[in-house]
Copies of this chain bind each other. A is one copy, B any other.
C-alpha cells in the first residue's frame, strides 16, 4: 500500500488543485450564466486512486441544453482551466492537459437522476462516484486499491478495447459486494462459466454480469472479455494457493526462460504503418483483421496454428503461423450424395476433365474427384486474393502498403515474434 497509495502530501496537493479548478469553473459558469455544476469524479473522488493518477473533473449541465451547446461550452470551459490542453474525443469532445504535474481531464455531461435515461454514456459517472462514496468504508477502499494492483499485474485492469478488462468502477463494485480482495478471489476461483457478481437482475451473454447499482438494467462489466475472466480465474487460483505481496505488485515481473528452437512451421510476417486513430478503434480492427486472415487461410485449406499481433508506436505487425506454407498439388473435391440427381452431372463433368488427378470414385454414399491445384504456395495465394480479404473499414486502404516477409531471420528478430514466443498468460505470479 505504501508503495502505490498516494502520500498524504500528494493527496493534499491534489485536493488543493481540485478545489482551485472547481472554484475557477464555478466562476466561469457564473460569468456565462450557465446552469451547470463542476464535480470531482473517478478514483480521486473516492479515495481509491494510485500514486500519480489522473484527476477527472466533470461539468454537469442541465438537460435543457442541446448537445452541440454542451459540447461547445464544455470545450470552452476546459480551455479556460487548461489553456495549453488538447481536445480529445470520446462520445463527445473534452479537454485534457497537465497542471502542476497532474494529468487533468475536464469532461462535460448531462445531469441525470438515478433511474432516469442518460443522454450520453458519461452521464452516469457522477452517480457512480456518489453511490460508491455513500457505501464504501475506508477499509474497502484500501481493498479496492489492492484489487486494482492485482488486476494491473495480470494485465486486465482497464475497460479499453485493447485490454477488455475491469474498469475502476467495476473493480470497486467487486469489493463492495465481497468486502475483501481475498473473498472476491475465492469467489472467482470457485465460480464456473459466466461470472455473476452481486445480484443478477438481467440476462446478458457477456463473460461477467455485474448489475450497475445506479441503473439496474445496465451490466457494468459488459466490457470484460472471456479471456480477461480466464486470466483472472487462473491468477486467483495461483495467488490463493501461494499468497504473497509480490504477486500483487505490478512492478514485479517474474520471467520464465524459453530457448526457442526451430518450430518447423511456416511463418509469414505482415507489417503496416499504424493508422492515425485512437486505440479503441485500431485494436478491434486488428482483431477483425486477424480473424479474417485466419478464416482466409483455413478456407484455402491451410492449417492455421497461430496468429499474433504486436502494436508498437507507429508499426503494426501480424504474424501468421501455418503448419505448412505449401499445399499438396492435389485437392480432394467432394461431390453430391449418389442418390442425388446431381451426382450424375458431377460424374459426367469430371470423367474426362484434364484437371482431374484421380477419380471420380465413390466412398460410401458420396462421389469424389481429385483435382490438381493451380497454386499451392500460401504467399502467392494470399497476394492473389488480397482484394477479397476484408481488412476492416479502417484498414482496407493500407493493403497496398503492406510489407510481407517470409525470411526466418527477419521474422525471428521482429517484435511480434519475440512477444509471441515469450508471452505467458497469465503472467507468472510466482517462480
Q: Indicate how many identical chains form the complex.
A: 2
Tell me which residues across on chain B come within 8 A of A367, comparing CB atoms. Answer: 230, 234, 425
A420 located at the interface, meaning its Cβ lies under 8 Å from any Cβ of chain B in the complex: yes
How many Å from the CB of A169 to the closest CB on chain B?
24
Of the 9-residue stretches A16-24, A36-44, A350-358, which lies at the interface with chain B? A350-358
- On whether the beta carbons of B191 and A330 are closer than 8 Å, the reply is no
- On whether the beta carbons of B261 and A329 are closer than 8 Å, the reply is yes
- On whether the beta carbons of B424 and A330 are closer than 8 Å, the reply is no
- On whether the beta carbons of B230 and A330 are closer than 8 Å, the reply is no
- Which one, B226, B305, B339, B358, contacts A421 given CB within 8 A? B358
- On whether the beta carbons of B372 and A424 are closer than 8 Å, the reply is no
Identify 15 residue pairs between A and B in the complex whose beta-carbon atoms are under 8 Å apart, listed by A's number: A230-B365, A233-B339, A234-B338, A234-B344, A237-B343, A238-B348, A257-B352, A260-B357, A263-B328, A263-B357, A264-B326, A265-B329, A305-B330, A358-B420, A361-B424
Max chain B C-beta neighbours (<10 A), residue from A234, A326, A339, A361: A339
- On whether the beta carbons of A234 and B327 are closer than 8 Å, the reply is no
Digit string of A254-276 for contact with B (CB within 8 Å is 1, else 0)?
00111111111100000000000
Max chain B C-beta neighbours (<10 A), residue from A260, A356, A361: A361
Interface residues of A in 93-138 (CB under 8 A from B): none
- On whether the beta carbons of A328 and B305 are closer than 8 Å, the reply is yes
Q: How far is the CA of A351 from the CA of B265 in the complex (A)?
A: 23
- On whether the beta carbons of A233 and B343 are closer than 8 Å, the reply is yes
- On whether the beta carbons of B360 and A424 are closer than 8 Å, the reply is yes
- On whether the beta carbons of B305 and A425 are closer than 8 Å, the reply is no
- Which one, B192, B241, B303, B323, contacts A339 given CB within 8 A? B192
How many Å from the CB of A181 to the closest CB on chain B?
19
A426 located at the interface, meaning its Cβ lies under 8 Å from any Cβ of chain B in the complex: yes
Q: How far is the CA of A238 from the CA of B343 in the complex (A)?
A: 10
A334 located at the interface, meaning its Cβ lies under 8 Å from any Cβ of chain B in the complex: no
Once A305-B328, A328-B305 are accepted as A-B contacts, the answer to whether A230 and B338 lie under 8 Å apart by CB is yes
- On whether the beta carbons of A234 and B362 are closer than 8 Å, the reply is yes
Q: How far is the CA of A424 from the CA of B226 in the complex (A)?
A: 51
How many Å from the CB of A361 to the closest CB on chain B?
4
Tell me which residues across on chain B come within 8 A of A257, comparing CB atoms. Answer: 352
How many Å from the CB of A133 to the closest CB on chain B?
34
A227 located at the interface, meaning its Cβ lies under 8 Å from any Cβ of chain B in the complex: yes
- On whether the beta carbons of B344 and A376 are closer than 8 Å, the reply is no
Q: How far is the CA of A390 from the CA of B238 in the complex (A)?
A: 43
- On whether the beta carbons of B425 and A360 are closer than 8 Å, the reply is yes
- On whether the beta carbons of A305 and B327 are closer than 8 Å, the reply is no
- On whether the beta carbons of A356 and B241 are closer than 8 Å, the reply is no
Tell me which residues across on chain B come within 8 A of A423, comparing CB atoms. Answer: 361
- On whether the beta carbons of B365 and A258 are closer than 8 Å, the reply is no
Tell me which residues across on chain B come within 8 A of A376, comparing CB atoms. Answer: 264
- On whether the beta carbons of B226 and A365 are closer than 8 Å, the reply is yes
- On whether the beta carbons of B424 and A329 are closer than 8 Å, the reply is no
Nearest neighbor of A257 in chain B, beta-carbon distance? B352
How many Å from the CB of A237 to the closest CB on chain B?
4
A231 located at the interface, meaning its Cβ lies under 8 Å from any Cβ of chain B in the complex: yes
How many Å from the CB of A363 to the closest CB on chain B?
7
